[in-house]
Amino acid sequence: MIFKDKTVIITGASEGVGAAAARKFANAGANLMLVARTKKNLEAVAGELRDRSRVEIFAMDVSDAETCVDLFKKTEFEFGQVDVLVNNAGCHARGSVEDVPADDLGRIIDVNLRAPIVLSRLALPYLRAAGGGAIINVASIAGRIPVPGSATYSASKFGLRTFTFALAEELRGSNIRVAAISPGPIDTGFIMADIDSTPAMTFSQPMCTADEVAQAILDICGNTQRELAMPKSSGVLSTLGYLLPWLWRALRPSLERKGQRVKKALKAKQKAEG
């Protein structure tokens, strides 16, 4: 897909994968509407990119459906059209279901699943008016196989994947592409700032960088893949675990031991650096 003069909305754009995707879309010549809750952080990313792209920001909570309507109106006003929506904003509250407050569990669903559904629905008339485009949902390996200690997060990302596939079928034959990126652990603050409460199982898988995931978002806009799991080895393992639950249960102890070792090494590195 050629992004020159196309308009891209990115949620969760103030840091991590969202900010990395903004940089790559800007380098490709796209107009950007950057979305996140904190205006100051959005301004920092926008300020970095305005010498190479038209960039606007919209500080909002993506779980507010009425404000989502305003987001699209603002984007159309500023740029004239919408060509790509990247649903990247994410929320997590780690811990067992019994220990995490009910409000926090609900917010995970609101941000990770309800918001992308609402935003995708709102995007469709704009994408049709533009003659086509893409909706890219950032899911997770945790949505391909359950992760204890992240049950609701896993549920939200499983639901996001299923929504992606169903919406793609509804739009088959149109010029609107719908696809998902399902990365394993990513070396961003989403995990690294909360390393103590992150399940050891998470660290049993190879870690991606934000730049790698961002590049995958751009790539999947223009190919025929329905989903890209990252890295490939984690995608294969999660598929086997989903199809053969007995195998996943058998592998879990060794994977958790591996994850504990990696987690310990990462904590030691953090301590040495800071």
Q: Catalytic amino acids?
A: 153
Q: What does the alpha-carbon distance between residue 81 and residue 78 come to, in Å, rounded to a whole number?
A: 8
CA distance 35 to 21: 12
Strands (E), 129-226: 133-138, 176-183
Contacts of 12 (CB under 8 A, 6+ apart): 18, 35, 36, 62, 88, 89, 90, 138
Phi-psi region of 255 (alpha: psi -120 to 50; beta: other; left: phi over 0): alpha
Report phi then psi at 251, rounded to 5. -80, -20
How far is the C-alpha of 108 from the C-alpha of 255, rounded, in Å? 26
Residues in the chain: 274
